[in-house]
Homo-oligomer: A and B are copies of this chain.
Amino acid sequence: MKKEIVIIGGGFAGINLTKRLANAKGIHVTLVDKNNYNFFPPLLYQVATGFPEVSNICYPFRKLFHYKKNISFRLGELLKIVPEQNKVVLSTGELSYDYLVLATGTESNYFGMGNVRQSALPLKTVDDAIDMRNYLLLKTEEATIATDPVEQRKLSTIVIAGGGPTGVELAGMLAEMKKNILEKDYPELSEEKVKIYLVDGAPALLAPMSKVAQQYTYDTLVKMGVSVELNRQVKDYVNDTVIFADGTSIPTKFLIWAAGVTSKVFQGIPKESYGKGKRLLVDQHNKMYGMQNIYAIGDTCLQTTDENFSEGHPQLAQVAIQQGINLARNFKAMINGKPLTVFNYHDKGSMAIIGRSKAVADIPSPKMQIKGFIAWVMWLFVHLFSLINFRNRIKTMYNWSIAYFTKDQSLRMIIRPKAVR
């Protein structure tokens, strides 16, 4: 009798776990996701600003699992866990499990600000990216015909909240689009009138990176025409106006929200299982404390057993990937009665792209900071090869080449399908 492993979430953690359990003896896997495709979050900002090829960064789960007989896919959202019955309740039915793995990632954190949640533009999913693209394009069309000066100003000001990689990447991309595309596409508008703000409550951009990277990023964005405002915290968003904690405000129709994430809370999981940021507390094998057969991996878990990370790991793709791989190894070991492997994060470094020929990278060993053109080439290669398959790599490389030579990477179409019935 095969052991049934149910994995909730097919992001970096879940997909790496699932892939490595393909054809494993004695194991059947059901991967559950609310989308029918895996996607590559680091390139969402490009989809949001005009690369229309969603397919470059997505791949359907079912196609990934062709000929993998011990893997099933189930479309659905997790509603409830019933640990005492070893089952999960999904929006599309129920599943029983021998082992359950939560790899559900994070969602945008609005820190209790209802107005921001309602009207700001998040960037956590592919749907978010398309929504943002449609909104940017549609409002820019409105800007071309706006006659009221207040309205015009709101339509030509963009505020990005959050100075992490997503905020930096979006600010850089929008600054380049303003310079290279705006007046060609919208002769009605003028470059000088468009303002891009990148604001963060913290005193530095790219908080976890080196001082060198932070300073280079700041200087580069300012040189590109972005108003970078640190120590400035969003408090509310009312009447198309961003209100800051210091009492100042910026009128804008565009508030992009990249200022924080939180894990999800699940019905059926006791309160004491959640740690900081609602992350699920797990032991050195990613098993949840107090649970016999429920595991959590990736951004959604908090593991404090790793020697150098007693506060938990940073919520990065690399941690998620490595936890997925380690848990796959451990499931196979369990089935075969072999000893388990403790999780240790191997830090490969971190990087962020700012714009054309501009990026930063911190390498842990040998410890060094790289910036500018070389970091940019590194960023392109690392991200190209991290895409899920050959076909997506080819398509992305083609698009990036076009972008590099034409300085106009994008096809700006407003596609507006109806909600699915």
| Contact surface of A with B, Cβ cutoff 8 Å | 35-37, 52-55, 58-60, 62-63, 66-67, 69, 72, 74-75, 92-93, 126-127, 130-131, 134-135, 137-138, 141-142, 145, 184-188, 391, 402, 408, 411-421
Contact = CB atoms under 8 A, between A and B. Distances in A.
What are the nearest 3 A-B pairs in CB distance?
A: A130-B417, A52-B55, A75-B141
A39 to B, nearest CB: 9
A187 B36 CA distance: 15
Number of copies: 2
Nearest to A75: B141
A52 B130 CA distance: 14
A185 B63 contact: yes
A102 B270 CA distance: 64
A412 B63 contact: yes
A93 B144 CA distance: 12
Contact of A60 (B53, B60, B411): B411
Contacts of A415: 54, 126-127, 130, 417
A416 B411 contact: no
B127 A60 contact: no
A62 B127 CA distance: 24
A411 B63 contact: yes
B66 A184 contact: yes
Nearest to A133: B417
12 contacts: A53-B53, A53-B55, A54-B415, A58-B411, A75-B141, A92-B141, A92-B145, A127-B416, A127-B417, A127-B418, A130-B415, A134-B417
A75 B408 CA distance: 21
Given A58-B411, A416-B419, 6 more contacts: A36-B137, A36-B141, A37-B413, A62-B185, A63-B408, A92-B142
B412 A36 contact: yes
Contacts of A75: 138, 141
A43 to B, nearest CB: 15
A52 to B, nearest CB: 4
Contacts of A63: 185, 408, 411-412
A62 B408 CA distance: 13
A389 to B, nearest CB: 11
A248 to B, nearest CB: 26
Given A135-B421, A421-B135, A62 B414 contact: no
Given A53-B53, A62-B186, A63-B185, A417 B414 contact: no
Contacts of A420: 131, 134-135, 138, 414, 416
A402 B63 CA distance: 15
Nearest to A50: B60
A36 B185 CA distance: 11
Contacts of A137: 36
B37 A414 contact: yes
A120 to B, nearest CB: 12
Contact of A36 (B66, B69, B188, B413): B413
A35 B126 contact: no
A402 B395 CA distance: 12
A70 to B, nearest CB: 11
A58 B145 contact: no
A237 B117 CA distance: 40
A44 to B, nearest CB: 13
A75 B138 CA distance: 9
Contacts of A69: 187
